[in-house]
Amino acid sequence: MDKEKRIDEIFNILVQFEEVGLGIKEDDYLSYLDRLYTWYSGYNENIACGIKGLFNLAMEIDHDSVRRMVFHLISLVEKEVE
């Protein structure tokens, strides 16, 4: 999977979080996080750890914290050497 696709997938975490209750169910958001966690746990443990943290906090976390984590994860992807 190319870097841009990984960045888009991670950015979609924030989009889905913002849409919970407006068309996306919380369970769908958590399923998305779980799928990404499973994939990244075999690819990049640092990114997987951040995704798992978001999953564990579910909707107890505020928007700014989700946004900060998403952009941190994107920066990790951008720093990867291809």
DSSP string, 46-64: HHHHHHHHHHHHTTSS-HH
Give the Cα separation of 61 and 66 in Å (integer): 7
Cβ neighbours of residue 80 closer than 8 Å, sequence gap 6 or more: 3, 44
Whether the CA torsion 65, 68, 71, 77 is positive or negative: it is: negative
The ranges assigned to domains in the chain are: 3-79
Going by C-alpha positions, the residue among 54, 11, 15 that lies closest to residue 33 is 54
The confidence score (pLDDT) of residue 11 equals 97
Does an H or E element contain 72, and which?
A: helix 63-79
pTM reported for the whole predicted model:
0.91
- pLDDT, tens digit, 9 for 90 and up, residues 20-63: 989 889 999 999 999 999 999 988 999 999 999 999 999 999 99
